[in-house]
């Protein structure tokens, strides 16, 4: 399950781990905050410490592409490049 909220300066997405089967170990919620200049991913760890990763929008686009590609080295084309 996930939620999407549009706030003044960011879009906030919260991912809730519901598990696939009863009795699954569930992870803490993940919060993704998309700002004009970056995207911040946060999750509370087992010691109640917020772990934070900040991506540029270019890094996030590369991550999204990488999830669907086989092993290798890649560079995404800029949207203004011609084939």
Which of 79 and 57 is assigned the larger pLDDT? 57
3-state secondary structure the chain: CEEEEECCCCEEEEECCCCCCCCCCCCCCEEEEECCCCEEEEEECCCCCEEEEEECHHHHHHHHHHCCCCCCCCCCCCCCCCC
pTM: 0.81
Q: What are the tens digits of pLDDT across the range 21-33?
A: 888 889 999 999 9
pLDDT of residue 80: 59
Closest by alpha carbon to 57, among 33, 37, 81?
37
Q: What are the tens digits of pLDDT across the range 7-53?
A: 999 999 999 999 888 888 899 999 999 999 999 999 999 999 999 99
């Amino acid at each position: 399950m996930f939620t999407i909220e549009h706030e003044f300066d960011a879009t906030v997405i919260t991912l809730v781990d519901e598990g696939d089967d009863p009795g699954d170990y569930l992870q803490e919620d993940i919060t993704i905050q998309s700002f004009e200049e970056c995207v911040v991913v946060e999750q509370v760890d087992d010691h109640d410490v917020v772990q934070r990763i900040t991506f540029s929008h270019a890094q996030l686009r590369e991550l999204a592409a990488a999830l669907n590609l086989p092993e290798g080295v890649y560079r995404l084309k800029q949207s203004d490049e011609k084939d």
